Amino acid sequence: MRKRETKERREPTFEAARERPELNASPSTSPARKNSGSRRSARRRRSLLVTSLSWFFTALVWATIAGAGVVAFYATKLPPIDQLEVPKRPPNIAILADDGTLLANRGDTGGASVRLADLPPYLPKAFIAIEDRRFYSHWGIDPFGILRAVTRNAAGGAMQGGSTLTQQLAKNLFLTQERTVSRKIQEAILALWLEHKYSKNQILELYLNRVYFGSGAYGVEAAAQKYFGHGARNVTLAEAAVLAGLMKAPTKLAPNRNPAGATERAAQVIAAMEQEGFITEAMGKLALAHPAQAVRGAGAGSVNYAADYVMDVLDDTVGAVDQDIAVTTTISPALQANAEKALTEELDQKGAKFGVGQGALVSMDPEGAIKALIGGRNYADSQFNRAVAARRQPGSAFKPFVYLAAIEKGLTPATIREDAPINVRGWQPENYSRQYFGPVTLTKALSLSLNTVAVRLGVEVGARNVIKVAHRLGIVSELTPNASIALGTSEVSPLELVAAYAPFANGGIGVQPHIIVRVKTAAGKLLYQRKGASNGRVIDPAYLPMMNTMMQETLLTGTARKGEVPGWQAAGKTGTSQDWRDAWFAGYTSHLVTGVWLGNDDSSPTRKASGGNLPVEIWSRYMRFAHQGVPPQPLPGGLWQAPAPFWPAEPSAPAPVAESGWPSQPAAQAYPPYPSSAAPAQAAQADSRPRNNGFAPPGLIPNAGQAAQARPAPRERNFFDNLFGG
């Protein structure tokens, strides 16, 4: 029994555990010591947590203090907002000519403010759906909307903003349109103030009565009258969607200018309204099936194109307009009227013959002040401003930038280049006439608009260098760096092309095209006064006479022989894009720089309208009138004089063009003209003659040997040929 009891006493589990080595007690693993270590670890974790929280709250306090300081700082810079009231009507903007006469009014016939209760329910809901879906739930600033916009922008989608309707209202009421951090902070402060001061419906009503809808219309009532011919109380769902869609880009999406763009944006508004449950699917389908149509406005002159452009840039000039103002512009009434007459009458007489439906004209003084701006054939038919907003291929009118880039690399107007077939990676550009002249001077090549020479020069100097020159002179559109850039295949607007020609007319200074001179309130308070500004020197004085000489020859013996201004030195360049889609002429004197574009809005080909026919005729007609009574002045910088003839001795070694990817070309060399008695073939063989003054003839150009295949029959030489060896 005792053995059984002893055996049973050995059964408890602690006896078995005692036999396990890993459970044997030691000084370092005793239960007391282990519990003590656990408590110390817990205390350390709690201490670390407390320290982290302490640092976090300290940083939070300092961040709050800093944020409050920034907010307080910008709050002190805010305009007074305690007298905010809904205006009885949009402010009147009187647009004046350079002589103070009235050109147009904007805003005085827009209509009175409307109450939210008087509008169809879907009209304000359209704005909420597309601009601020959480309008009735946020407090002026929508963090979720900001986060959503940031997320979508980071994902590479269409750029979106996070501004609420209240923030947009604050910006329109009190601030300028500049995109700065300080302005966004002030906008947020004002949004919070508005939410505190007014109810949601009051804010929405203020918004609908104050925002800009394009075409000079401020407020939803003015916009409805402007675009649809009736008040906001009677707009259809399709019309409401168009009005709400305008908030993205009032000028670009105006239905009387861009009906396709307005309809596309309206469809997005309809879809957003369906998603939010504001309308049924059936209502959305009906609206999409019957899109809104803008009404035709009353007949109006081309001065409205200039007035629209004033409105487009006015916001960036003085910010939100909350009172009657007078805007004095650079527009000359006489030049504007004559430009309209020259363009419309020439198109009325010859437009059908040449298959040309539209045109544009921009004229500015050499300092960049716009004196005439015609955005289309008939403002009543189309308010789209082609002079400013249309971008088309300039064709050979872009070549002066190529030649200037070549001149800057050491060539001169007397430099010889081969006019012959050329192949650039399978691309084989041809001359307009499909004839080739063999060795020609750059002056002759530019005046006759020889494409092969322009392409050779573009390859020699590099496409990126050509683009740098164009951008430096005033082209702002994106240009594609390829071989065809030499022939003007990248699109530009008439306004920027004319601005880029201005440095040729003013001595080499880059200009900032402008139309607003000053802005005053109705009481006479000066709000803005333009001060002289330029982009500095963009053409070296040594190169300016060379460019003037080459471009003047275009009017004397080249493609623009119809374009003369009696008594004046005039220069310029014609341009015709591929398949006769665009016809240009841009030219200048020391008094004016003017460009003319002709074509069709759908980019359909014309009936061989080229820069040398209709555009030159319109340009010449307008410029002759514009120079009446003005004492003639020579072109700044004068004309280039060719050095005395001499014979260079030995050719310099060919060097590849720096820009990678182009065919290897000889280094650009400048050299004097050969004597007039030398035939082109003789000139081409002058490499072995004695060298003089460091000049050398050009090395071999790709495909130069093919020139003889298509040379025209000899023609009678003129004085210019004798002078430059053409």
Residues with catalytic roles = 131, 396
State which H helix or E strand residue 519 sits in.
strand 516-521
Query: Which H/E stretch holds residue 416?
Result: strand 416-419
Of 492, 601, 491, 584, the closest CA to residue 257 belongs to 601
Quote the DSSP letter at residue 712.
P
**Host H or E run for residue 370:** strand 370-374
User: Cα(184)–Cα(78) distance, rounded to whole angstroms?
Assistant: 12
Distance CA 63, CA 81 (A): 28
Give phi and psi for 183, each to the nearest 5: -65, -35
Helix (H) or strand (E) holding 106, with range, is strand 102-106
Three-state DSSP class for 521? strand
Beta strands 370-374 and 358-364, pairing class = antiparallel
Residues in the chain: 726
Amino acid at site 333: P
Residues 451 and 445: their CA atoms lie apart, in Å, by 8
Would you state the structure tokens that stand for residue 50, as one six-digit string?
């407390």
- Identify whether the C-beta of residue 304 lies closer than 8 Å to the C-beta of residue 104: yes
Query: Which candidate, 530, 534, 508, 493, places its Cα nearest to that of 368?
Result: 534
**How far from 147 is each of 131, 143, 162, 163, 650, CA to CA, in Å?**
15, 6, 8, 11, 69
Structure tokens at 59: 């940083």
The answer to whether 487 and 396 are in contact (CB under 8 A) is yes
Mention every residue, 6+ apart, whose C-beta is less than 8 A from residue 285. none
Give the span between the Cα atoms of 224 and 294, in whole angstroms. Answer: 10
What is the rounded CA–CA span in Å between residue 36 and residue 43?
11
Residue with tokens 């200048």: 588
Complete edge-to-edge strand list for the sheet that includes strand 358-364: 370-374, 358-364, 593-599, 582-588, 571-576
Hey, what are 228's tokens? Answer: 């649809």
Q: Is the dihedral of CA 127, 133, 135, 139 positive or negative?
A: negative
User: Degrees (nearest 5) of the Cα angle 401, 404, 408?
Assistant: 140
* Adjacency order of strands within the sheet including 102-106: 102-106, 93-96, 325-329, 516-521, 526-529
The enclosing H or E element of 96 equals strand 93-96
Question: Phi/psi at 381 (nearest 5 deg)?
Answer: -80, -35
Q: Is 359 helix (H, G, I), strand (E, B) or coil?
A: strand
Question: Which SS3 state, helix, strand or coil, does residue 54 take?
Answer: helix
